[in-house]
Amino acid sequence: MITAITAAELLTPTEQISSPVVLIEDEVITRFGSRETVEIPANATLLDYPGATFAPGFIDIHIHGSAGYDVMQGDQKGLETMASFLAHRGVTSFLATTVTAERPALLTAVERLAEQIHNWPSDGTMATPFGIHMEGPWISKLRCGVHPTSAIENPSLEMFDRYYRAADGYLRLITIAPELPGATEVIREAVKHGVRVSLGHTDGQLSDADAGIQAGATHATHTFNAMRPLNHREPGVLGRVLESTAITAEIIADGIHVDPVVVDLFLRCKGGDQAILVTDATSAAGMPDGKYKLGTFEVTVTGDRCELNGNLAGSVLTLDRAVRNVMQFSGRSLGESVRLATANPARVVGESNRGTIRPGARADITVLSPKGEVIECFAAGRATLAKSSNRAIG
């Protein structure tokens, strides 16, 4: 079956096209361009979104849960509920992100996630968890945030091998504090196995950042949060992250974890190619005020704040809102902001067929209003929201 979708504008996201047509067949984009250059096949189902903008489906590479579900719970139906919620927020792909826990619990969580990802239903009605991001246990006790200090460990090749085997090929990203004993050895081993490494939850100095980058780290976890603050005489890991073109960096743009002024400053430092929007969302995202699970502990949500004992504990942010916040905080256009949630995170984890609109790529497309609100979401070529009031069927 061929589906043709049309709108007012398309963001690839590196190219902008007016009056676009996108042709979809067998879950893949087969052709796109302006209506003057692309002929719509007579047998195609035509969906028109007047006044809307097509963008690649959003990718969240740091998310712990949503819609009342935490990824470490190991429940298939719960993960599918989370994935359906994410599609309503324009997300088509995500890395299920674990938190620090005792070894048996963390190994079990990784094994269950790998099994769920391997058996993920391909019906195209929700976002797809395409891998695992391990945030902990190899983090600094001084900058651990709400991660339980009792379960924090120094990195070791033995434990990396155990987690890697438990993940069954789905371990895509690990967060590590580069100053810890054994960190550079584990970074090298992870990179050798195709796992991307992110510097985070760190009290490291500039030299530690350089050692981590030299060993193969290429990314930074929720920049500013759980990091030694910037000092003009000892800039630390944060200083290198902001300055270096050798490392991409993520930020939680909810206006709570990082002040809007600093979000804008961060974007000026990292530019349009190296900044990544993430949510760090917990199971409380999309839920009313109350108490919710984050790994093995309980967090409290009041309004937009997610806390444990007065400390920030993840967020209730959604990626579509993060895109709109960047537009508001920094004055950047919809196209510039969308790139931070699509092509950039895809590049961080080496996903060339996600985060882009081009022939041969997965037909993951988010339909947005001029203000960045989600109208529709296509996951592997299938509309997940079916808001018929916002489209015309030809």
- State the catalytic residues: 280
Which residue has 């969906």 as its token pair?
47
Could you give the 3-state DSSP secondary structure of residue 211? Answer: helix
Number of residues assigned to the chain:
394
Distances (CA, A) of 274 to 159, 167, 336: 30, 27, 12
Token pair of 159, please? 């434990």
Q: Are 363 and 354 in contact (CB under 8 A)?
A: no
Please state, in angstroms and rounded to a whole number, the distance separating the CA atoms of residues 224 and 240: 12
Pick from 250, 237, 59: nearest CA to 139: 237
Residues 6+ apart with CB under 8 A from 262: 224
Sheet order of strands, 290-294 included? 290-294, 297-302, 305-308, 311-312
One-letter amino acid of 389: S
Phi, psi (rounded to 5 degrees) for 314: 70, -160
Q: Are 132 and 117 in contact (CB under 8 A)?
A: yes
Which residue has 């206006």 as its token pair?
255
One-letter amino acid of 222: H
Q: Where are the alpha helices (DSSP H) in the chain?
A: 76-87, 103-118, 157-167, 183-192, 206-215, 236-243, 260-274, 319-330, 334-339, 343-348
Pick from 191, 188, 197: nearest CA to 217: 197
